[in-house]
Amino acid sequence: MNDGNGAFRYPASREHVRDSKVTHDAFDQFVVDSGREPSKRLRVERHDSVPQPIADRLGTSAAVSRRAVRAIDGRTVAIETSYYPADLAEGTPLVEEADIPAGTISVLAGLGHAQTGYQDELTAHQIGPNEAADLGVAEGTPALQTVRTVWSASRVLRVTVTVSPLGGGLVMCYETGAPAPVAFGG
In a domain? residue 99: yes
Q: Is the dihedral of CA 160, 26, 124, 151 positive or negative?
A: negative
In a domain? residue 95: yes
Find how far residue 156's CA is from the centre of its chain: 16
Angle at alpha carbon of residue 45, lines to 26 and 101, rounded to 5°: 25
In a domain? residue 87: yes
Q: How many domains does the chain have?
A: 1
In a domain? residue 21: yes
In a domain? residue 53: yes
d(CA 148, CA 27): 14
The pTM (predicted TM-score) of the whole model is: 0.84
> Residue 46 sits in a domain of what CATH number?
3.40.1410.10
pLDDT digits (tens, 9 = 90+) for 151-182: 999 999 999 999 999 877 777 666 666 666 76
- In which element (H, E) is residue 119 found? strand 117-126
In a domain? residue 107: yes
CA dihedral 128, 8, 37, 177 (to 10 degrees): 110
In a domain? residue 178: no
**Per residue of the chain (186 residues), what is the pLDDT tens digit?**
444 456 766 655 555 544 556 666 777 777 888 888 999 999 999 999 999 999 999 999 999 999 999 998 999 999 999 999 999 999 999 999 998 888 888 889 889 999 888 898 999 999 999 999 999 999 999 999 999 999 999 999 999 999 999 877 777 666 666 666 766 555
In a domain? residue 177: no
d(CA 38, CA 121): 25
Domain of residue 21 covers 8-172
